Amino acid sequence: MSVIRTLFSLAVHNGKQGLRNSGTKSFRPLLSCAPVAMVGFERNAHSQDITKNIQYISNEKTKLTADPNTLKLDKLPNRPLCVMINWLLARQKHVMKFATLYLEQGFDVVSISCTPWQLMWPQKGSQLVTGDLLKFLSANDNDHPLVVHGFSIAGYLWGEVCVHVMKDPKRFQPLLDRVAAQVWDSAADITELTIGVPSAVFPKNKILQKTLQTYLEYHLKTFHDVATCHYIRSSQMFHTNLCRAPALFMLSKSDPVGAENSNRAVHDSWVRMGIQCTWKCWDKSPHVMHYIYHQKEYLAALYSHLDKYGLVSQPDKMRMRL
């Protein structure tokens, strides 16, 4: 077991380990998710860090400064906002492909990342990330609608958001009530944790995946009070979502991480609560890659969902993609 702990520590501890690119002297942190502030991307989008896990993406080049204590911006953008909660170790260029879909419709995007280490130790990791997200949204509230677009572990993180809201509903519930639409791509539940994390950390090494999976199973059994009980509570909160905005589920039958049965359980629970839900399930496509494998259908489902609730401001750009 000491070998497994060493491996896990090397893979996920604090994001301090990295991978050296072959043939170059560059060193890429394994768990680094945040790019350099104000880096230009395709279609003139620009990004800057608010915290290590929160990134603001906009078509505007205006530099924003956030108060380190309150996270209040010095300039409040006057646009609708998409809260994009990313999958584990999402690469910036892939995040930008989705962010651009919202930027084209007049949104700014708040991109949320979470490292494997933060996922494994919720009290010192993911709960701080979700707390900062709510703090940021509360400090920079405006009259425009919110959209939540989550991938994979976003289901768990949104459950943690709901836990925070339960503790201070007077302050935070109005934020969830402002959400006009939800989109859940390959949402993963606690039952898929031991499958999803190893495949994200070691996507091309089956042996290391199995080794990390073994450790995670040990982790869940051993650290119940500081980890597992929080996953269970978050899962319960995700199933009884405090956000009642209409939701779009996108997944595939062949994905073992964002599994059909666990997504269906969430979908059915929300329908019973009166949430309007749309279900899009493909026969075959990998985890969080449905957009790549079924681009036209993915965009049609997404745009139809957003347009139904008045969130498409540039239909011409929408039609060009379709």
**Domain harbouring 74, CATH code:** 3.40.50.1820
Distances (CA, A) of 191 to 120, 224, 257: 14, 15, 9
Residue 7 belongs to some domain of the structure: no
Residue 6 belongs to some domain of the structure: no
Residue 248 belongs to some domain of the structure: yes
* Mean per-residue pLDDT, 239-257: 97
Range of the domain at 289: 32-190+225-321
Residue 1 belongs to some domain of the structure: no
Residue 163 belongs to some domain of the structure: yes
Answer yes or no: is pLDDT of 38 > 60: no
Residue 4 belongs to some domain of the structure: no
Domain count, the chain: 1
Residue 296 belongs to some domain of the structure: yes
Name the nearest CA neighbour of 291 among 152, 130, 110.
Answer: 152
Residue 266 belongs to some domain of the structure: yes
Answer yes or no: is pLDDT of 10 > 70: no
Give the span between the Cα atoms of 50 and 73, in whole angstroms: 9
60-101 tens-digit pLDDT: 988 999 999 999 999 988 899 999 999 999 999 999 999 999
